[in-house]
Amino acid sequence: MSTYAYKNSQEVISQEAAVMAKTFNRQPVVWARGEGCRLWDKEGKAYLDFFAGHAVMNLGYAHPAQTAAMQAQMAALVHTGNLYYTEAQVELAKRLTESTFGNKVLFSNSGAEIVELAIKLARKWARRERPDEQRFEILTMKGSFHGRTYGALTATGQEKLHQGIEPLLPGFKYVPFNNFVGAASGITNRTCAIMLEPVQGEGGITPADKKYLQALRNLCDQNHLLLIFDEIQCGLGRLGTRNAYEAFDVVPDILLVAKPLGGGLPISALVTRAEVASALQVGDHGSTFGGNPVAAAAGCVLLAEVARPGFLENVKSTGEYFGKKLAELGEKHPGLVQAVRGLGLMWGMELSHSGPEAVRAALGKGLVINCTAGKVLRFLPPLIVGRPEVDEACQILDAVLAALERSKEA
């Protein structure tokens, strides 16, 4: 039962166009509810979801334990602000230290905000470590994505996202991704850190090479720079390891997580070691909502589930199976599919054309996917997905690709 008076999806969509400024190309669907890997629209049609609200609903929709934890915390206490303690926030920080290399945690609300905090921390740290130098520059990668606030957007190495909003924040240099020489030659006496996504998400689902990340680790050690991993999209179990960095055998100095942490509620975290965190003093970071207890309660359940025996094994084995099936589809539709890339349950299928059309056609057939970097179909299913759902998704995808090929020939 809806709380609102809209008669059908079309009425909601028309009203949105009337009252909201347009910054999204939304799909023509109004979601009413979700359960597991399925979503239902306002008219009651069921869909298989291979996008998980942008890699957020990693335990699926209406996960019983996560929902119960959120409801219990909500009934007890929704918010207090950060001048006081809550058990949920402290417990989540404790669990994050137990499941990562770090021993200190800072909270915020969104991916972009935690990137902002990492930028501030890197600059503060560099000033403390080498007070006689002017080190504030952060190397980031071409094709990266770090968020929509000014600092995070400046860190984002995509020119098209910078157009019309200049001047940007000073102190960033973009170097080519997966190119060690580019990074090494980008370092100057102003550099304080290197920040990157172990798997570029918005940039087209491009995993870093293991050797490249390991070489960046050495480069940072040799030059006394911080290595910052933005695992906002690829972290917290998505690659089949507790954290993305574990899939590459590289430990960063600063780890950023967000999206799935709050089970659909906004929360983000920066994890680091005490000797880095101590560059921040009381008053250097603040947030009214950051580390909200309801979101933190959801985060505690997420980390407990990811640590449960069999959870990550499912991500790995279902992910490998999915990758194989996508590669088979690539071989079946060579005129359209240019590449298949991914790791764990984070996959991209690069098309020669018609990415947005494929997304729309898949939706029509009951499969929710997304397109990034213009023509890369992006698959980010809930991490509880199994082989039957993968088979179902690939069957729909096969039909979508075949129809696109036919329409091109016609």
The site for ligand PLP (CB under 6 A) is made up of 110-112, 115, 145-147, 197, 201-202, 230, 232-233, 258
DSSP classification of residue 274: H
Q: What is d(CA 383, CA 363) in angstroms, rounded to the nearest whole number?
A: 20
How far, CA to CA in Å, does 313 sit from each of 63, 205, 246, 305?
19, 21, 14, 12
- For residue 324, the minimal CB distance to ligand PLP (Å) is 25
- For residue 220, the minimal CB distance to ligand PLP (Å) is 19
Phi, psi of 236 (to 5 degrees): 55, 40
| CB-nearer residue toward ligand PLP: 38 or 146 | 146
| CB-nearer residue toward ligand PLP: 159 or 409 | 159
- For residue 250, the minimal CB distance to ligand PLP (Å) is 17
Residue nearest to ligand PLP (CB): 111
| CB-nearer residue toward ligand PLP: 54 or 104 | 54
How far, CA to CA in Å, does 165 sit from each of 110, 154, 273, 326, 328?
21, 10, 35, 38, 43
DSSP classification of residue 208: P
Q: What is d(CA 213, CA 152) in angstroms, rounded to the nearest whole number?
A: 21
| CB-nearer residue toward ligand PLP: 197 or 305 | 197
| CB-nearer residue toward ligand PLP: 105 or 261 | 261
- For residue 55, the minimal CB distance to ligand PLP (Å) is 7
| CB-nearer residue toward ligand PLP: 120 or 127 | 120
- For residue 268, the minimal CB distance to ligand PLP (Å) is 7
With residues binned 3-state (H G I as helix, E B as strand, rest as coil), the percentages for the chain, rounded to 5, are: 40, 20, 40
CB-based contact 406:337 (threshold 8 Å): no
Which contiguous run of DSSP H or E holds residue 106? strand 104-108
End-to-end CA distance of the chain: 44
Phi, psi of 218 (to 5 degrees): -65, -40
Q: What is d(CA 177, CA 194) in angstroms, rounded to the nearest whole number?
A: 11
| CB-nearer residue toward ligand PLP: 122 or 232 | 232
Q: What is d(CA 164, CA 177) in angstroms, rounded to the nearest whole number?
A: 25
- For residue 265, the minimal CB distance to ligand PLP (Å) is 12
| CB-nearer residue toward ligand PLP: 168 or 399 | 168
Helix axes 311-332, 293-307, angle to 10 degrees: 80
CB-based contact 374:30 (threshold 8 Å): no
- For residue 197, the minimal CB distance to ligand PLP (Å) is 5
Got the DSSP string for 74-95?
HHH-S---TTS--HHHHHHHHH
- For residue 207, the minimal CB distance to ligand PLP (Å) is 13
- For residue 294, the minimal CB distance to ligand PLP (Å) is 17
| CB-nearer residue toward ligand PLP: 206 or 354 | 206
